[in-house]
């Protein structure tokens, strides 16, 4: 009998860490502390080239948002301040209506399935939902 491993859940971005309590991980400049989610050869703030990986707080507040109404379904695009780290994201579990979102709104990290491929591997995305 051949044993087949169950399909994997794969994070859609490399800075999303899955597990019992998913979290985001940023690269932090060792000199000035600036944080980035994308790959960097040098810090955009001080040009230093050494970084360390740090866990980002999984809750925060909405500092900016817009309702995106193009495409098949409107959604809320936002910037969330997670204890000093800005995270660009989609707000989930909230109606894309300006009366349902407000600056300073408390939110927490949420993950969701983005789909399953032909092998059964599931892509997992992240957003923030009202706390």
Q: Are residues 78 and 29 in the same domain?
A: no
Among 92, 82, 103, 115, smallest CA distance to 15 is for: 82
Instruction: Tell me, yes or no, whether 99 lies in a domain.
Output: yes
Same domain membership, residue 28 and residue 74: no
Q: Using the 3D structure, point to which of 56, 88, 107 is the last residue of a domain.
A: 56
Domain boundary among the residues 35, 56, 77 is at: 56
**Same-domain pairing of 66 and 129:** yes
Whether residue 59 contacts residue 46, with contact meaning beta carbons closer than 8 Å, is answered with no
Are residues 96 and 35 located together in one domain of the fold?
Answer: no
Average pLDDT rounded to a whole number, residues 99-116: 96
Q: Is 69 in the same domain as 124? A: yes
| 13-58 residue pLDDT tens | 999 999 999 999 999 999 999 999 988 999 999 999 999 999 999 9
Residues 126 and 108 in one domain: yes
> Do 98 and 109 belong to one domain?
yes
Question: Is position 9 within any domain?
Answer: no
Domain termination site, one of 23, 41, 56: 56
Per the structure, the count of domains in the chain is 2
| pLDDT score, position 122 | 94
d(CA 89, CA 34): 19
Q: What is the pLDDT of residue 5?
A: 58
Residue 8 lies in a domain: no
pLDDT for 71? 83
Structural domain of residue 129, as residue ranges? 57-131
C-alpha 64/C-alpha 78 separation (Å) is 6
Dist CA 117 CA 55 (whole Å): 29
Between 5-19, 23-37, 55-69, 76-90, the lowest mean confidence (pLDDT) is in 5-19
Same-domain check for residues 21 and 81? no
Q: Is the pLDDT of residue 119 over 60?
A: yes
């Amino acid at each position: 009998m051949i044993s087949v491993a169950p399909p994997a859940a794969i994070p859609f971005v490399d800075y999303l860490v899955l597990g019992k309590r998913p979290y985001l991980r940023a690269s932090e400049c060792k000199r000035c502390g600036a944080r980035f989610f994308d790959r960097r050869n040098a810090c955009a703030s001080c040009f230093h080239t050494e970084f360390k990986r740090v866990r980002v707080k999984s809750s925060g507040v909405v500092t900016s948002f817009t309702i995106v109404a193009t495409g098949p379904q409107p959604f809320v695009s936002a910037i969330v301040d997670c204890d000093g780290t800005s995270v660009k994201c989609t707000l989930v579990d909230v109606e894309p209506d300006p009366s349902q979102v407000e600056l300073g709104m408390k939110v927490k990290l949420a993950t969701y399935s983005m789909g399953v491929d032909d092998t059964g591997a599931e892509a997992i995305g992240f957003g923030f939902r009202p706390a």
